[in-house]
Structure 1
Amino acid sequence: MKGTAILFQENEVTFIENIDHTVYEELKAQCGNEQCNCKLDNKIVEFGPISPIFWHEEDVDWDYGY
């Protein structure tokens, strides 16, 4: 299943689109830690601390905001 992960960081919100639910679960398990990361496009991406994190099935329709 693919979807969008929504990560809330200290001063920003990050949207990661078209990822597997397993990547979301990996990030969710790290939620609240000092350093959160995951593998995207064969690269390790560091996000710093995230809390909370949400999942949205499918892609976000940016014309309507959901």
Structure 2
Amino acid sequence: MKGTAILFQEQNITFIEDIDQSVFEEIKDQCGCEHCNCRLENKVIDFGSVSPVFWHEDEVDWDYGY
């Protein structure tokens, strides 16, 4: 299943669209760590410290905000 992950960081909110739920779970398990890492498009991405993390199944309709 694919969806959108919403990551809250110290100064930013990051939206990652069209990712597998398994990648979201990997990020969620690292909440509170200084270096939250995951593999996206064959690259390891370090998001730094994130908390909390939310999941939205499917894509976000940005025209309406959900």
Say yes or no: TM over 0.5. Answer: yes
Any gaps of 5 or more consecutive residues in structure 1?
Answer: none
TM-score (norm 2): 0.98
Name the one with the larger strand percent. Answer: 1
Any gaps of 5 or more consecutive residues in structure 2?
Answer: none
Which aligned runs of 4 or more in structure 1 are off by greater than 3 angstroms? Answer: none
Aligned length: 66
Identical pairs, percent: 68
Which residue matches 2:4? 4
TM-score (norm 1): 0.98
Give the Å deviation of 1:64: 0.4
Name the Cα RMSD after superposition.
0.4
